[in-house]
Structure 1
Amino acid sequence: MRLPRANPRSRRPGPVQTAPETRPASQGPVEAQVPVAAPAPVRSGAPRRARAPRAPFVLLLVGLLCGGLVTLLLLNTVLAQGSFQESQLRNEIKKLSQAEEERRNVILQLEMPDRLSKSAEGQGQQPGWENSDVITLDGSTGTGQTPAGQEPVGAGR
């Protein structure tokens, strides 16, 4: 059952005035018509339902909204902090990769033949071009020996 909406007291309309009822002419002479008072409005015996207070509900809604906002801000802060850490780690990895690449380049430069020969000369070693063994096509060296001290092929067995 739906109850009519109650108006505030300041806006309630005044009492409704009705015109007095008259009896129809068939019940008596015209002069004998006597006004009859309208019946008084009957109020139901059920008390009016009181409105629930709005303040606790509004406070609940405001509290929920504030809690959601604080939670969202904390989540955003944590994600931003993780993003900063991630970018710092990426920069650190990039620097370490560059340092590793530089070390590889230094090692490759030190292993180059020109660099090795200069290093050997610095240690007192001389290239032995005049007494080097040259390997010929038949597998023998210029000194008459085969590589690794083996006998020449076809030698008197």
Structure 2
Amino acid sequence: MRVPRAVPQGYGTKPARPAPATAPAAQVKAVAPGAPGSPAARRARPPRTPFLLLVVGLLCGGLISLLLLNAVLAQDSFRANGLRKEISDLRIAKESKQSAIMRQEMPEAVARNNELQGLGPDWDTARVIDPDKPAVGGADDAAKPAGQERVPGTGR
């Protein structure tokens, strides 16, 4: 034997809703669109202006921050380029000074500078270079440290 279960009220089938009664066209009153009872007033959307201002403000803030970041990076780039140019200029100046020094150390330039200062070769005392005799004013063979004595027949 089967006992029927109790079904809670409101569960299961729903009662059919009655269709709204439509008023005849003659009975409908003309309502202004902005009036409190109008359908437009009941379905009013929130205003779009604050949201649009927020979006535009965020976009402008992002754009300004990107421009500032770009300006800072460009400033560092300009500084690095300036330092590279300065190093290049200093290197060129160093090379030109080295070449001027090398030109002044050449035998022709030394002789010309000596003549301008009144100096010249001393023709009164002749020096004869003899490989068997030590140079005048040089170190004696006895004064040389061990291992650096002259070896006869080698010229050293």
Greater relative contact order (Cα < 8 A, sep 6+): 1
Work out whether 1:135 is the aligned partner of 2:114.
no
Please list every run of 5 or more consecutive structure 2 residues that lacks an aligned counterpart in the other structure: 1-16, 21-41, 143-156
Work out whether 1:112 is the aligned partner of 2:106.
yes
Query: Post-superposition shift, 1:54?
Result: 3.6
Work out whether 1:68 is the aligned partner of 2:62.
yes
CA distance in 2, matches of 1:77, 1:151: 75
Question: What is residue 116 of structure 2 aligned with on the other side?
Answer: 122
Aligned counterpart in structure 1 of residue 52 of structure 2, from 52, 58, 63: 58
Please list every run of 5 or more consecutive structure 1 residues that lacks an aligned counterpart in the other structure: 1-37, 42-47, 141-145
Question: What is residue 28 of structure 1 aligned with on the other side?
Answer: none
Q: Could you tell me the percent identity over the aligned residues?
A: 50
More helix by share: 1
Work out whether 1:84 is the aligned partner of 2:78.
yes
CA distance in 2, matches of 1:55, 1:94: 58
Question: What is residue 148 of structure 1 aligned with on the other side?
Answer: 137
Question: What is residue 39 of structure 1 aligned with on the other side?
Answer: 18
Provide Cα deviations, 1:97-137, integer angstroms capped at 9, x if missing partner.
Answer: 11111111111111112211111121111212452322211
CA distance in 1, matches of 2:75, 2:105: 45
CA distance in 2, matches of 1:138, 1:129: 24
* Aligned-residue RMSD, C-alpha: 3.0
TM-score normalized with structure 2 length:
0.54
Provide Cα deviations, 1:43-92, integer angstroms capped at 9, x if missing partner.
Answer: xxxxx998554432322221111100111112122222222222222222
